[in-house]
């Protein structure tokens, strides 16, 4: 007999029902159960205010799986090196995806932006969306898997057709646009070599021994390109010097200053065009104590005006990193950067405060933002330096469009310390010599 | 030569060593670099407006700059006045 204290087993937990449960068919987008005209003004205004607009950047002409050359039907499509063109390896037909700037009007009307406009490739990532995607090869019917975490194309191992992920899926892997590589591998290798050649004297011995810039890899990294229309207010105190004078005897002269103190307020309205933000959590962590992601951050900006509509063929043979951050997660970072821009904008207006300004308060009024997700091209060379906490991964990065190069070269600490101490001792020797001869 | 001048000279060695170490370390590791978005992004700003009101006078201070000067430290956040963010 069962223990009387044990509660009887309850009914099997029922699937959630009622309004708002996942079984309910959602109402049509933009509808409201009550006629808004019957509601008080403030509520009606709120309801009738425009929803965040998603610009549909999906390409109807492209489907997941086999993408054929528009002329001959082959799937052997590559980016023509150094250009934004796609080329068919069979019939040599060349064509190009449209530039998103013109196709979706991304460069226009930033000063008219209101609310949050999100392009369809920048929409929130669904929590259950998997990075692994399987689709049927339309060439032979075999199932082919693409891990969208690091690749957007795959070759069917049966019929050798190239398959690409082109439809925007809720896992964040398909962006609105892609900026094709212009810098070729030879050029990237030469730039990395030149960069490191300027930093050999104190570089880690193992780094120098294992340095093979030919191992540089092309990677498409995910970014959100943001346009913003904002107003910012800043307040603080500034000082203007009115008098400077010295007091004291010859050996004990001290300089004193008189100054006027002002309370300063500044306001500036501005628009920002194409501000890039890392939309990968790992890349967005710019803590130089634990990683060298600031190197990749430094090679920004890109000529994002020339980005073309997404086409997986641009990524053939190139790895990519999937976006894992949504618009709302990036908003604090954006606001921080907008405030920084505001502060730099007002700098000229406080030049007359020759003793400096201490800003104490700032405010930001974001009228509107527009978010477009983009894959940007980076040549990446990396070296792992062993050490505590997993060591440090040093990057040397080349901007795949402008060629801007930045890197972190690991340092041979004992060599650097010895040199610094030697120079310090030499300087100290000079100091002691001067002191000895002057007294 | 005064005592103050002598002490200053004695600091030359340690200061030189530290300065050289940091300068070289940064040249190799570039830990101080990041995207200069304040200047490298296209910004269209309307004319800056604002007010200046004299509130005080200081006499006989030895400090060369205002205390807490952050006019060039754009990225150093100060108190944020909320309520006007849409």
Q: Is the per-residue pLDDT at A43 higher than 70?
A: no
Question: Quick one: DSSP state of residue B59?
Answer: E
- Judged by CB atoms closer than 8 Å, whether chains meet at B64 and A365 is answered as no
Distances (CA, A) of A405 to A189, A199, A274, A417, B55: 11, 13, 21, 27, 49
Say whether pLDDT at A175 is over 90.
Answer: no
Please indicate whether, in this complex, the C-beta atoms of A238 and B42 are within 8 angstroms of each other: no
Mean pLDDT value across chain A: 82
Q: Say yes or no for a CB contact (<8 Å) between A276 and B35.
A: yes
Please list every residue in chain B whose beta carbon sits closer than 8 Å to the beta carbon of residue A349.
48, 50
Question: What's the rounded Cα separation, in Å, for the pair A376 and B41?
Answer: 16
Stretch A188-206: mean pLDDT, rounded? 91
pLDDT higher than threshold 60 for residue A53: no
Give pLDDT tens digits for A63-99.
566 677 888 878 788 888 878 888 888 888 888 877 8
**DSSP character at residue B41:** S
pLDDT of residue A18: 39
> What value does the CA radius of gyration of chain B take, rounded to a whole number of Å?
21
Chain B hits for A345, Cβ within 8 Å: 43, 45, 48
- The answer to whether A301 contacts B41, with C-beta atoms less than 8 Å apart, is yes
Q: Does A259 touch chain B (CB under 8 A)?
A: yes
CB A342 within 8 A of CB A272: no
Give the residue ranges of DSSP H helices in A261-412.
281-284, 293-298, 327-346
How does residue A439 score in pLDDT terms, banded at 50, 70 and 90? low
Nearest residue, CB atoms, A199 vs list B27, B52, B78: B27
- DSSP conformational letter for A124: P
Cβ contact, residue pair A239, B63, below 8 Å: no
Asked if the ipTM is above 0.85, the reply is: yes
- The sign of the torsion formed by the CA atoms of A349, A351, A352, A354 equals positive
Spell out which residues of chain A touch residue B23, defining contact as CB-CB under 8 Å.
Answer: none
A270 contacts in chain B (CB < 8 Å):
43-46
The reported pLDDT for the residue numbered A21 is: 36
Please report, rounded to a whole number, the percentage of residues in chain A having pLDDT higher than 70. 83
pLDDT band at residue A218 under the 50/70/90 scheme: very high
pLDDT over 90 for what percent of chain A?
38
In angstroms, the CA A366 to CA A142 distance is 50
Question: Looking at residue A55, what is its pLDDT?
Answer: 53
Is the Cβ–Cβ distance between A240 and B52 less than 8 Å?
no
Residue A358 three-state SS: strand
The answer to whether B43 contacts chain A (CB < 8 Å) is yes
List pLDDT tens digits, range A226-278.
999 999 999 999 999 999 999 888 778 889 999 999 999 999 999 999 999 99
Predicted confidence (pLDDT) per residue in B70-82, tens digit: 998 888 889 998 8
Please name which of A308, A433, A239 lies closest in space to residue B63, comparing C-alpha atoms.
A239
pTM to 2 decimals? 0.80
Interhelix angle B12-29/B3-10, nearest 10 degrees: 40
Look at A298 and B61 and tell me if their CB atoms are within 8 Å. no
Rg (CA), chain A: 30
Mean pLDDT for B32-46 is: 89
What pLDDT is stored for residue A85 in this prediction?
86
Q: Report pLDDT for A425.
A: 92
Helix runs in A198-326, H state only: 205-209, 281-284, 293-298
Residue A165's CB is within 10 A of a number of other CB atoms, namely 24
| pLDDT tens column, B4-17 | 556 778 888 899 89
Q: Are strands A65-66 and A162-164 parallel, antiparallel or unpaired?
A: antiparallel
Whether A270 contacts chain B with CB within 8 A: yes
Q: Calculate the alpha carbon distances from A122 to A33, A62, A279, A285, A323 in Å.
A: 29, 18, 10, 20, 9
Residue A273, strand partner residues: B42
* B21 CB-near residues (< 8 Å, 6+ apart): A416, A417, A420
pLDDT per position as a tens digit, A4-28: 444 444 444 434 443 433 334 444 5
pLDDT for the residue numbered A286: 85
| Cβ B81 vs Cβ A362: under 8 Å | yes
**For A345-374, what is the mean pLDDT?**
93
Give contacts of B62 with chain A, Cβ < 8 Å. Answer: 254-257
Residue A369: its pLDDT value, please?
A: 93
Report whether A99 contacts A85 (CB < 8 A).
Answer: no
pLDDT digits (tens, 9 = 90+) for A394-409: 999 999 998 889 999 9
CB contact under 8 A, A417 and B57: no
Judge contact between A402 and A191, C-beta under 8 A.
Answer: no
pLDDT band at A58; cut points 50, 70, 90: low
| Tens digit of each residue's pLDDT (9 = 90 or more) over A98-154 | 787 777 777 778 888 888 888 877 777 666 666 777 777 777 777 777 777 777 777
Q: Find, among A213, A54, A45, the residue nearest to A124 by Cα.
A: A54
Question: Nearest by CB to A424, which of B17, B51, B74?
Answer: B17
3-class SS string, B7-25: HHHHCHHHHHHHHHHHHHH
Overall average pLDDT of the A376-382 stretch: 94
Which one-letter DSSP state was computed for residue A71?
T
* Chain B environment of A285 (Cβ under 8 Å): none
């Amino acid at each position: 007999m069962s223990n009387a204290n044990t509660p009887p087993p309850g009914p099997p937990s029922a699937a959630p029902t009622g309004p708002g449960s996942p079984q309910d068919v959602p109402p049509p987008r933009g509808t409201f159960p009550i006629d808004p005209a019957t509601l008080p003004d403030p509520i009606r205004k709120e309801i009738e205010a425009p929803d965040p607009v998603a610009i549909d950047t999906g390409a109807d002409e492209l489907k997941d799986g086999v993408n054929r050359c528009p002329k001959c039907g082959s799937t052997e499509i590559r980016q023509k090196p150094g250009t934004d063109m796609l080329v068919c390896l069979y019939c040599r037909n060349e064509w190009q995806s449209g530039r998103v700037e013109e196709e979706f009007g991304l460069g226009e009307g930033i000063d008219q932006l209101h609310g949050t406009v999100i392009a369809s490739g920048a929409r929130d990532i669904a929590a259950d969306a998997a990075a692994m995607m399987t689709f049927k090869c339309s060439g032979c019917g075999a199932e082919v898997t693409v891990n969208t975490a690091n690749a957007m194309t795959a070759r069917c191992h049966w019929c050798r057709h190239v398959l690409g992920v082109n439809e925007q899926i809720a896992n964040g892997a398909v962006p609105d646009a892609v900026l094709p590589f212009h810098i070729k591998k030879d050029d990237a290798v030469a730039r990395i070599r030149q960069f490191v050649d300027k930093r050999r004297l104190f570089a880690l011995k193992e780094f120098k021994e294992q340095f093979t810039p030919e191992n540089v890899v092309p990677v498409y990294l995910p970014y959100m390109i943001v346009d913003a229309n904002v107003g910012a207010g800043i307040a603080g105190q500034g000082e203007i010097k009115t008098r400077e004078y010295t007091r004291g005897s010859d050996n004990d002269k001290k300089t004193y200053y008189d100054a006027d103190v002002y309370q300063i307020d500044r306001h500036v309205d501005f628009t920002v065009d194409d501000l890039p933000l890392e939309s990968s959590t790992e890349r967005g962590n710019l803590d130089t104590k634990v990683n060298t992601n600031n190197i990749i951050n430094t090679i920004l900006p890109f000529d994002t005006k020339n980005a073309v509509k997404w086409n997986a063929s641009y990524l053939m043979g190139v790895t990519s990193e999937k976006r894992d951050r949504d618009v709302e997660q990036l908003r604090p970072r954006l606001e921080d950067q907008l405030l920084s821009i505001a502060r730099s904008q007002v700098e000229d207006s406080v030049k007359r405060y020759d003793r400096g300004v201490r800003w104490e308060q700032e405010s930001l009024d974001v009228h509107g933002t527009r978010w477009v997700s983009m894959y940007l091209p980076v040549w990446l060379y990396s070296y792992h330096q062993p050490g505590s906490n997993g060591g440090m991964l040093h990057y040397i990065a080349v901007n795949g469009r402008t060629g801007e190069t930045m890197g972190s070269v690991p340092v041979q600490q004992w060599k650097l310390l010895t040199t610094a101490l030697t120079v310090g001792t030499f300087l100290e020797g000079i100091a002691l010599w001067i002191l000895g001869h002057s007294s | 030569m005064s005592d103050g001048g002598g002490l200053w000279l004695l600091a030359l060695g340690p200061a030189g060593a530290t300065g050289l170490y940091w300068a070289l370390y940064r040249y190799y590791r570039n830990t101080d670099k990041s995207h200069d978005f304040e200047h490298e992004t296209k910004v269209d700003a309307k004319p800056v407006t604002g007010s200046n009101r004299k509130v005080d006078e200081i006499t006989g201070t030895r400090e060369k700059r205002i205390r807490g000067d952050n006019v060039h430290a754009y990225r150093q956040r100060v108190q944020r006045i909320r309520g006007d963010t849409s």
